[in-house]
């Protein structure tokens, strides 16, 4: 059981220590309280996060006119693709986010750049790609960032993401004509050199019915509706939850010995 109550207390202490008015971060605090009560889901929109914050714009896909950095990232896709091809030996290395329960068939390989807000060793091999991510709000440090390769004939079963304080992006580096992606009720395809920005707390899935692999640069960003102080509060909450999760896993590991 995740310690959302502890995360709320941590954010309240942080606010007091930094002279932050709690009314300015009330959405974060209320979201943590609801999550602690098992009420993180947002029934009216169909979102199902572990940590949910109400009052943020909710829709499966976001458009270019809503994302100020869209064009600068999309125009840089070939730089990221060149770095990926130069470092293909790293595919499948680093801290894996692959989970067996996500797969119905096939395989999904990754090169991890940022894992749960922490920059990974592999990131040193991708300076241009990290520069692209640093030009986005949180792409280099707020959540997950990695190269994602979906092999031909693979399928990732329907699932939902952790929190709606983040959105997720796919910068498409190599398309597969038979690959498709669903968020909510909407199916789309990946276009080479294109960008998708979506809310992964809506149910989503991916299918690659093709003979070619699909490669994207996947990264999380902060939700555009959050104020700067809410981003800071959200960072405190997520860092606390990640530390607790790491500690619990370590204790579980030693308990088995």
Contact 113, 120 (CB under 8 A): yes
Q: What is the DSSP letter of 140?
A: T
Q: How many CB atoms neighbour CB 226 within 10 A?
A: 22
* Residue 252 pLDDT: 45
User: What pairs with residue 145 in β-bridges?
Assistant: 114, 219
| C-alpha closest to that of 233 among 23, 2, 41, 38 | 23
**Residue 250 pLDDT exceeds 70:** no
For residue range 130-160, list pLDDT tens digits in order: 999 999 999 999 999 999 998 888 888 899 9
Segment 167-183 mean pLDDT: 93
Distances (CA, A) of 10 to 53, 101, 104, 230, 239: 17, 32, 39, 14, 10
Segment 87-96 mean pLDDT: 63
Segment 83-95 mean pLDDT: 75
* Residue 64 pLDDT: 97
> What domains are there in the chain, each with its CATH number?
4-55+226-255 (no CATH), 61-222 (2.60.120.330)
């Amino acid at each position: 059981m995740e310690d959302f109550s502890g995360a709320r207390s941590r954010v309240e202490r942080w606010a007091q220590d930094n002279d932050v008015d709690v009314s300015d971060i009330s959405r974060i605090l209320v979201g943590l309280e609801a999550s602690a009560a098992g009420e993180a889901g947002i029934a009216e929109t169909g979102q199902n996060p572990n940590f949910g914050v109400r009052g943020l714009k909710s829709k499966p896909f976001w458009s270019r006119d809503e994302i100020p950095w869209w064009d600068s990232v999309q125009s840089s896709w070939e730089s990221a693709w060149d770095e990926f091809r130069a470092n293909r030996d790293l595919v499948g290395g680093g801290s894996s986010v692959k989970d067996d329960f996500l797969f119905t068939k096939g395989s999904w390989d990754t090169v991890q750049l940022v894992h749960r807000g922490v920059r990974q060793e592999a990131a040193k091999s991708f300076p241009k790609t990290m520069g692209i991510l640093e030009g986005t709000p949180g792409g280099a440090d707020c959540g997950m960032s990695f190269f994602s390769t979906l092999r031909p004939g693979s399928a990732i079963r329907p699932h939902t993401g952790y929190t709606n304080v983040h959105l997720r992006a796919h910068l498409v580096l190599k398309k597969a004509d038979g690959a498709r992606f669903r968020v909510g009720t909407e199916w789309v395809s990946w276009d080479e050199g294109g960008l998708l920005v979506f809310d992964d707390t809506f149910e989503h899935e991916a299918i690659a019915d093709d003979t070619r692999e699909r490669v994207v640069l996947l990264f999380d960003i902060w939700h555009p509706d959050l104020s700067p102080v809410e981003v800071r509060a959200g960072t405190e909450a997520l860092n606390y939850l990640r530390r607790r999760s790491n500690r619990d896993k370590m204790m579980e590991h030693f308990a088995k010995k």
